[in-house]
């Protein structure tokens, strides 16, 4: 239901995993933490950045064709499998990342011989469908997930999810000695990691925006834009830089005076104090 609320707001979580990001509050109820990789998808149907924790990443992330909210359903399927089967469905935690990715892309989902819950198997098979268009929940249907037979076998009276949302059910486990409400819970190390992840995500967003603008600057795919051309374009925009500032910024990255490549274009955007996205929007015209 936490993911459902995010999806209703048009946000892909992109890093669903147990222990680190799915935790219990002081009363024993589940909560999500660490939104450093969350992506606002309201203005786009797909994104292409390769982010997440490899064990829980959907196959479409690795093949570069773009993905949307449906990747969170895959991660949910991995978590369900891990909880009921006691291991990962593809690869193992001691394997190299390349081996994990190969397993996700190539291996067929299989269950331990002793696991014979047909409802559970069906739920996981549908959540872990490698075709995102056929994956359970992919058509904005959390209702389909919540109404699955697997969740009707809990023995609870009434709707399970309504009871959980209303905190009508007693949690099976309550953390001892955890005080989540105190700022001390966020150690300096954890805070730095969150900041670094957020910074990495912002850098990825900037690069995506820069790629779109670069295609307009270099329509023939030559890989280089003349420095004078970029200076002239920047001077014609309303990006709050005067000509001397623009010259100085461009010269700082075009050290060989042989033009601006995409790499140096990104360096120009990152090393200056200007609003990089505002500059890109101005260049888009």
The pair of structure tokens assigned to 147 is 């109404």
- Has 15 been annotated as catalytic? yes
Give residue 172's pLDDT band: very low, low, confident or very high (50, 70, 90). Answer: confident
Residues, the chain, total?
A: 285
Q: Which residue do the tokens 């739920």 mark?
A: 123
> Cβ(84)–Cβ(91) under 8 Å?
no
Residues 167 and 207 in one domain: no
Plot region of 277 (φ>0 → left; ψ -120 to 50 → alpha; else → beta): alpha
43 located within any domain = yes
The DSSP code sequence of the chain is: -HHHHHHHTTEE-----BTTTEEE-TTS-EEE---TT-EE-TT-S-B----S-GGG--HHHHHTS-B-THHHHHHHHHHHHHHHHSS-SSS-TTS-HHHHHHHHHHPPP---TT---HHHHHHHHHHT-SSTTTSTTTTT-HHHHHTSGGGG-S--SS-HHHHHHTT-SPPS---SS--TTSGGGS-HHHHHHHHHHHHHHHHHHHHHHHHHHHHHHSTT--S-B-HHHHHHHHHTS-SS--HHHHHHHHHHH-TTSS-B-HHHHHHHHHHSSS-HHHHHHHHH-
> Cβ(119)–Cβ(153) under 8 Å?
yes
187 located within any domain = no
**pLDDT value at residue 192:** 43
Which of 15, 34, 72, 254 is catalytic? The answer is 15
Give residue 156's pLDDT band: very low, low, confident or very high (50, 70, 90). Answer: low
Which domain does 45 fall in, by range? 1-173
Residues 162 and 202 in one domain: no
Tell me the per-residue pLDDT of 75-106, one tens digit each, with 9 for 90 and over. 999 999 999 999 999 988 778 888 999 999 99
Tell me the per-residue pLDDT of 258-279, one tens digit each, with 9 for 90 and over. 788 888 788 777 765 567 777 8
Range name among 11-20, 41-50, 227-236, 264-273 with the lowest pLDDT average: 264-273
Residues 161 and 36 in one domain: yes
Which of 173, 203, 232 is the last residue in one of the domains? 173
Range name among 44-58, 174-188, 221-235, 245-259 with the lowest pLDDT average: 174-188
pTM above 0.95, yes or no: no
185 located within any domain = no
Residues 11 and 141 in one domain: yes
Which of 173, 200, 231 is the last residue in one of the domains? 173
Give the pLDDT mean for 29-49: 85
Q: Domain tally for the chain?
A: 2
Residues 96 and 160 in one domain: yes
Any idea what the CATH number is for the domain that residue 212 is in?
Answer: 1.10.238.10
């Amino acid at each position: 239901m936490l993911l459902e609320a995010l999806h209703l707001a048009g946000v892909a979580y992109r890093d669903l995993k147990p222990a680190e990001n799915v935790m219990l509050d002081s009363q024993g109820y589940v909560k999500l933490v660490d939104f450093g990789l969350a992506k606002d998808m309201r203005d786009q149907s797909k994104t292409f950045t390769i982010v997440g924790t490899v064990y829980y990443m959907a196959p479409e992330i690795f093949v570069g064709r773009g993905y949307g909210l449906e990747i969170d359903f895959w991660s949910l399927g991995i978590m369900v499998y891990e909880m009921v089967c006691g291991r990962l469905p593809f690869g193992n935690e001691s394997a190299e990342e390349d081996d994990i990715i190969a397993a996700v892309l190539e291996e067929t989902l299989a269950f331990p011989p002793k696991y014979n819950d047909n409802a559970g198997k069906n739920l996981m098979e549908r959540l872990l469908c490698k075709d995102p268009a056929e994956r359970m929940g992919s058509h904005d249907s959390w209702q389909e997930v919540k109404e699955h037979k697997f969740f009707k076998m809990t023995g609870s009276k009434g709707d399970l999810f309504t009871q959980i949302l209303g905190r009508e059910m007693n949690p099976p486990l309550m953390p001892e000695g955890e005080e989540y409400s105190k700022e001390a819970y966020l150690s300096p190390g954890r805070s730095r990691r969150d900041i670094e992840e957020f910074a990495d995500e912002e850098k990825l967003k900037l690069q995506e925006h820069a790629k779109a603008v670069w295609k307009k600057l270099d329509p023939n795919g030559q890989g280089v834009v003349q420095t004078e051309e970029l200076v002239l374009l920047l001077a014609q925009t309303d990006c709050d830089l005067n000509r001397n500032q623009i010259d100085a910024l461009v010269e700082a990255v075009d050290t060989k005076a042989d033009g601006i490549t995409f790499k140096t274009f990104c360096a120009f955007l990152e090393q200056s104090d200007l609003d990089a996205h505002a500059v890109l929007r101005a260049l888009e015209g």
